[in-house]
Chains A and B, each alone.
Chain A
């Protein structure tokens, strides 16, 4: 017999039986817990799940590459990577030992746990143990010393004293120290065993070997080492079995739920919102009760590791509004656990938790639901694929159904419903902005054109944006582009109507627009409005309208690259703000940057750029709601201007979204940076670069006054 060691060395027969008994209990509790989780998820709305292979491979990729976990915090990412691989290797090692001990030997009388395999096994597990401990140390360092704000449990959506998250803190440290203790006791076991039973191949367990040397130097050998081994073995065993049993009930649940959630997540979450059945009863619209949540969304609640990256990225939280995406998920999770999960099965109900399944209002406050800009920053950064945005949107749908919304928002819906635009303008005024042009824009309803320009509300009706629309029209004319518009037939595309939760209005807008567009002859559609662009491109196909849709930055780049515009370098120093709907929603990051490069301006990036761009605060229909402005807070848009002006002297703050034009024109004035930086829309700069005279229209900014 080659190199190996007895498995239950020094244990009496009774002790081994006891161990197996405890193992059965532990596994039993674990299985019961997992079963409760499954039952909890099954309480949710059914939703089909396809493409299982692709889901599995994507999950493996995300989990093993740690691509998502490493983002925006490389130290914590490295820590988790180390402990993940260490833990996984140790888990595999334990499984191998289990197979050897409980299957291979008793059933097949085979012993593979010896010789070179055993030596390699020992070395690998020692390395894994070191990785685990190193990772845990890094995580502990992160938590205790670096202490990033996001790991604190302060809630931007509650007042101090209104909540107690101290148990979470305890849970985090218990979890960390349990794993740490498992690793340490594992190594101690090796050391004590080697100290009591000298082996010539001890060096294959380097850590154990070092410990053995140390113990021997302290005089710990023979039977005393064997006793220490005996005691430590039990400590390790009980700890391990307790840990296994606790997995479904503690933070450790993320070891199961997070990979599962990554696998079942909707890759288009938030980008393509779901539809509502035509015959749905009012109480079934959106989310109100916990069992309204889809089973996937219920599962995602348990996937949360409380890392706080979502809340850190949230523009509403940054502006002091009562929304914290993490805490919204955690509130739902606590409620689900209390009413549907293991807590419910055991009758554990923490104080203050409502008995019913209705969570809308308490703990999910309507103010939180309405604070969201649906900017996707939270979903985009979540390392475990939680879908905050569609969940919040579902709550909104229920609130809209009940009429519990900001009166301004309600008026806007009514206005859009009666006039087809959010400005309450008669439809005949939609093409009025073209009156300042030197030429007539083709009417797509009457003649064919290569490009169909879906202008959108802000670019059509808002005076400051009309200027940009005219700039783009002029640029297109100079480039010889063949384009047409829908004139009066165009209506609000509905992107924000949908995100504000008025799905019925959205679908009727989409249907009306699709009907209008379908009657025209063209090759591609473009829009300057990322919201419009997004919904036409990604959501209209679900309503029967599929076309190639471009953002004007992409179109401009195409024209520039085709050499159809004669550009002269402008030499400005600018920064560029990525619109949520263009960037995070559609990953168009480069086109506007390359246009800026082509017109010879120096781009200075803000610290938060591309996927980390900070929402201006207007999205998700927020632009139609009463502004909430907590005492002492700074608007997200103002913080963005602060960020831009901290880059040193810049000529322009460049945007590529009509709502950004409105939001940041205001923010430059109100942030105290008036005069330090000016706003330009991409088209305006391109127009300047081709040397065309700029629009003489007055720079009327501001909101439209509704008639009495």
Chain B
């Protein structure tokens, strides 16, 4: 059956202006597990548009650092926590998609998923405060040091169960810079995927999305991908909204579903040790007042350019 003429595409570009609206029906299922949409209608009570976003609470270190005794981690006292910048952008992108659907009177849902300990629920709270409807935490050791394959494997059953139209991940996390979890997860779920996306236009009539991949050197690759799909989102695609602490506190009252991870297979690497990076020979430091520094800079520039 086809009700293609009922479909209206959605266009979400970098500025986030929604040019079109979701249609009343679903994308044709591509992957078998998307039984939810198998017959082209959505069962009673399930949202018509659903996005799952995988998020991570990242750590940041200042200029002081101390390592744990085994040399495999950083002393927790030296770490500050935040939601990964890329993931916040992905959540914002998902919210914009579903809000457009809601504005058209459709049910929509954004579900956020993380892997980590209870202390990492903070990241989920922030996403709930931004407007995500549900949050799921896959129980597990948190931190920057989990290998990406293990993370992807833990996420996979939960994300599969949610059967989303679009799965979004940040391109990478600011602390471990793997840029791998999203692509691995797509593979485990057998979802079409595109990495490093800076613009998304969903066209549900075609069951595709047209996305812009940002290549090195500023060239943009325009790619058409079948839906449902997993996209890893690059910063700059939108300006994420603010989650007030009040909203975060209210989100504290929301239930977060906790899922036990499946049995772990060995990861894709083992950390042998971590260490403070060797300093390069370092810069020659220019001392003195700003005026003196500026004078030296001028001197250096002139010497090099002449």
A, B assembled together: yes
Chain A interface (Cβ within 8 Å of chain B)? 276, 278-280, 282, 285, 400-401, 403, 405, 407, 410, 413-414, 417-419, 425-429, 502-508
Q: B80–A505 contact, CB under 8 A?
A: no
Known: A278-B250, A418-B81. A425 touches B62 (CB 8 A): yes
Q: Give the Cβ gap from A496 to chain B, nearest Cβ, in Å.
A: 15
Known: A279-B250, A504-B249. A428 touches B244 (CB 8 A): no
Among the listed A410, A425, A428, A503, which residue makes an inter-chain contact with B246, where contact means beta carbons less than 8 Å apart? Answer: A503
CB contacts (< 8 Å) of A282 on chain B: these are 247
**Which B residue sits closest to A420, measured CB to CB?**
B80
Could you show 22 A-B contacts with beta carbons less than 8 Å apart? A278-B250, A280-B246, A400-B242, A401-B246, A401-B247, A403-B241, A403-B242, A405-B242, A407-B239, A410-B242, A413-B245, A418-B60, A419-B80, A425-B62, A426-B61, A426-B63, A426-B78, A502-B244, A502-B245, A504-B246, A505-B245, A508-B245
CB contacts (< 8 Å) of B239 on chain A: these are 407
**Which B residue sits closest to A508, measured CB to CB?**
B245
B residues contacting the other copy or chain, number (CB 8 A): 20
* Cα-based distance from A407 to B239 in the complex (angstroms): 9
Q: A428–B78 contact, CB under 8 A?
A: yes
Interface of chain A, main secondary structure: helix
Q: Give the Cβ gap from A495 to chain B, nearest Cβ, in Å.
A: 16
Please provide the chain B residues from 52 to 73 with a CB less than 8 Å away from any CB of chain A in the complex. 60-64
Q: Give the Cβ gap from A369 to chain B, nearest Cβ, in Å.
A: 16
B229 within 8 Å of A (CB atoms): no
B18 within 8 Å of A (CB atoms): no
* Cα-based distance from A403 to B63 in the complex (angstroms): 31
Q: Give the Cβ gap from B114 to chain A, nearest Cβ, in Å.
A: 16
Known: A428-B62, A428-B64, A504-B247. A413 touches B242 (CB 8 A): yes
B158 within 8 Å of A (CB atoms): no
Residue from B64, B246, B248 whose CB has the most chain A CB atoms within 10 Å:
B246
Q: A429–B62 contact, CB under 8 A?
A: yes
* Cα-based distance from A504 to B126 in the complex (angstroms): 13
Known: A418-B82, A426-B64. A507 touches B245 (CB 8 A): yes
Q: Give the Cβ gap from A38 to chain B, nearest Cβ, in Å.
A: 33
* Cα-based distance from A285 to B242 in the complex (angstroms): 15
CB contacts (< 8 Å) of B299 on chain A: these are none
**Which B residue sits closest to A488, measured CB to CB?**
B77
Known: A418-B80, A426-B78, A428-B78. A276 touches B64 (CB 8 A): no
CB contacts (< 8 Å) of B246 on chain A: these are 276, 280, 285, 401, 503-504
Among the listed A428, A504, A506, which residue makes an inter-chain contact with B77, where contact means beta carbons less than 8 Å apart? Answer: A428
Q: Give the Cβ gap from A486 to chain B, nearest Cβ, in Å.
A: 16
Please provide the chain B residues from 245 to 273 with a CB less than 8 Å away from any CB of chain A in the complex. 245-250
10 new A-B pairs (CB below 8 Å) besides A410-B242, A413-B242, A426-B61?
A: A400-B244, A401-B247, A407-B239, A418-B60, A418-B82, A425-B62, A426-B60, A426-B78, A428-B77, A429-B64
Q: Give the Cβ gap from B58 to chain A, nearest Cβ, in Å.
A: 10
Q: B249–A508 contact, CB under 8 A?
A: yes
CB contacts (< 8 Å) of A504 on chain B: these are 244-249
* Cα-based distance from A400 to B241 in the complex (angstroms): 10
* Cα-based distance from A529 to B294 in the complex (angstroms): 34
Known: A426-B64, A428-B64. A417 touches B80 (CB 8 A): no
* Cα-based distance from A419 to B60 in the complex (angstroms): 10
* Cα-based distance from A410 to B88 in the complex (angstroms): 14
CB contacts (< 8 Å) of A418 on chain B: these are 60, 80-82
Residue from A417, A427, A502, A503 whose CB has the most chain B CB atoms within 10 Å:
A417
* Cα-based distance from A673 to B304 in the complex (angstroms): 37
Q: Give the Cβ gap from A253 to chain B, nearest Cβ, in Å.
A: 37
Over the window 120-139 of chain B, the binary record of Cβ atoms lying under 8 Å from chain A Cβ atoms (1 yes, 0 no) is: 00000000000000000000
CB contacts (< 8 Å) of A417 on chain B: these are 245
CB contacts (< 8 Å) of A503 on chain B: these are 245-246
Q: A401–B244 contact, CB under 8 A?
A: yes
CB contacts (< 8 Å) of A280 on chain B: these are 246
